[in-house]
């Protein structure tokens, strides 16, 4: 049986709170929630969380409290009102809050008379993603508001940062002159523009801390990785699962011609968002499964590290769909030599950046051609 991470209480199950709870559940946390909407509470339980009758009930068994409510008054109510969570939280408990708490701890009309001394209530001094701690509140705490600047994202302990890079532009396809094949996959080299794009990737990432570089069995990824590998003194490793989608009878570059001709099968592929419509081709689900397997294997070898993985457009689309739960082809059309930033923490995937092309010149809304 999988051991859940520490319990976390989510107070407020509106659109924001429900989304936070769902993300925490996907990350393996034991989520205890409280909300006023029965449908939101039911959805939390269906997703594997637990529901509490009052904020105090759920606060008694957690060390971390997440408050996702509409305004500062509601923060006071769920913390210090009747049945509020503050009374049951242990000293040292952590709190993240979506709104500032602006009123003193003693100002709530529902605070029990015997508890209105500021020294008897836990301090609450957090908001906007900053972590506060509950403990005795001094007079200086009450008089001097705490500053809460915005903070940069940090990967959680044990996670792996993955910089996916699409290979540079490959050689043009000419009808009747198929690309050479490697294990049945078309294997064109980079074009002159693609080689320039590879140099730009190397220049862009040479100052980053990178612990390993991975490529696929197809030469365009190794050629794209070569400048960066030379800058960093790393030897790229070939991953067996991250090569481009297998296109069956349309391998060797024929896909590009079929797309340009608006072949009915190509249109069916787009309508169904599944490469498996092409005779003999790999389905999207099979592609995604092997690509996820490859990334998870790489991440398992590199906890608390950053890796560069040079892959293909179809692979990037599949991994972005996996990370975000989007439609299958929602992330199709990544530019050649674009960079995509993932943070992978076990089964919890976060897409931090898609299609970064700042190193390639001016911004454009035009999607790149198929691989």
Q: 35-39, 344-348, 355-359: which has the minimum mean pLDDT?
A: 35-39
pLDDT of 255 > 50? The answer is yes
Q: Give the tens place of pLDDT for each residue, 133-152.
A: 333 333 343 344 456 677 77
Q: What is the pLDDT of residue 64?
A: 81
Domain with CATH 3.40.50.720 in the chain: 5-143
CA distance linking residue 7 with residue 64, whole number of Å: 7
Domain with CATH 3.40.50.1240 in the chain: 160-360
Strand order in the sheet with 348-356: 237-238, 212-215, 306-311, 160-166, 339-345, 348-356
DSSP secondary structure letters along 32-78: EEE-S-HHHHHHHHHTT-EE-SSHHHHHTT-SEEEE--SSHHHHHHH
Q: How confident is the model at residue 157 (pLDDT cuts 50, 70, 90)?
A: confident
Answer yes or no: are the C-beta atoms of 160 and 306 closer than 8 Å: yes
Percent of the chain clearing pLDDT 90 (strictly above)? 54
Q: How confident is the model at residue 123 (pLDDT cuts 50, 70, 90)?
A: very low
Answer yes or no: are the C-beta atoms of 212 and 307 closer than 8 Å: yes
Q: Span 83-112, mean pLDDT?
A: 57
Q: What is the pLDDT of residue 148?
A: 66
Q: What is the pLDDT of residue 217?
A: 98
Q: What is the pLDDT of residue 214?
A: 98
Which of 245, 311, 244, 240 has its CA nearest to residue 274?
A: 245
CATH superfamily of 160-360: Phosphoglycerate mutase-like (3.40.50.1240)
Q: How confident is the model at residue 109 (pLDDT cuts 50, 70, 90)?
A: very low
Average model confidence (pLDDT) across the chain: 83
Q: Give the tens place of pLDDT for each residue, 195-239.
A: 999 999 999 999 999 999 999 999 999 999 999 999 999 999 999
**CATH: 2.30.180.10, 3.90.700.10, 2.40.110.10, 3.40.50.720. Which one for 5-143?**
3.40.50.720
Q: What is the pLDDT of residue 80?
A: 81
Answer yes or no: are the C-beta atoms of 371 and 310 closer than 8 Å: no
Q: What is the pLDDT of residue 147?
A: 66
Q: Which residues contact 290 (CB under 8 A, 6 or more apart)?
A: 241, 242
């Amino acid at each position: 049986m999988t051991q859940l991470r520490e319990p976390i209480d989510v107070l407020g199950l509106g659109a924001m709170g429900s989304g936070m709870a769902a993300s925490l559940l996907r990350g393996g946390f034991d989520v205890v929630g409280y909300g006023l909407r029965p449908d939101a509470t039911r959805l939390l339980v269906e997703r594997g969380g637990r529901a509490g009758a009052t904020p105090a009930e759920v606060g008694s068994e957690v060390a971390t409290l997440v408050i996702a409510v509409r305004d500062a008054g509601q923060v006071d109510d769920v913390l210090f009102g009747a049945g509020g969570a503050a009374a049951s939280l242990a000293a040292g408990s952590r709190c993240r809050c979506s709104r500032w708490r602006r009123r003193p701890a003693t100002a709530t009309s529902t605070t029990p008379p015997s508890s209105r001394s500021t020294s008897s209530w836990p301090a609450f001094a957090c908001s906007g993603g900053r972590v506060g701690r509950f403990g005795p509140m001094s007079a200086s705490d009450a008089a001097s508001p705490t500053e809460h600047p915005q903070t940069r994202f940090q990967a959680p302990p044990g996670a792996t940062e993955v910089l996916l890079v699409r290979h540079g532009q490959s050689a043009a396809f000419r009808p009747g002159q198929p690309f050479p094949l490697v294990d049945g996959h078309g294997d064109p080299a980079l074009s002159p523009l693609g080689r320039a794009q590879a140099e730009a990737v190397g220049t862009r990432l040479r100052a980053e801390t990178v612990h390993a570089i991975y490529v696929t069995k197809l030469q365009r990824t190794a050629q794209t990785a070569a400048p960066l590998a030379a800058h960093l003194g790393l030897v790229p490793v070939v991953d067996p699962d991250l090569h481009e989608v297998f296109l069956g009878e349309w391998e060797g570059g024929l896909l590009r011609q079929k797309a340009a001709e608006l072949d009915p099968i190509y249109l069916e592929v787009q309508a169904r968002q599944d490469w498996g419509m092409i005779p003999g081709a790999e389905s999207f689900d099979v592609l995604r499964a092997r690509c996820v397997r490859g990334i998870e294997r790489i991440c398992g070898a590199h906890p608390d590290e950053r890796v560069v993985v040079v892959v293909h457009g179809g692979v990037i689309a599949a991994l972005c769909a996996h990370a975000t739960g989007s439609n299958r082809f929602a992330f199709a059309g990544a530019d050649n030599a674009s960079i995509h930033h993932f943070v992978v923490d076990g089964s919890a995937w976060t897409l931090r950046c898609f299609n970064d092309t700042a190193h390639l010149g001016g911004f454009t809304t035009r999607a790149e051609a198929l691989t």
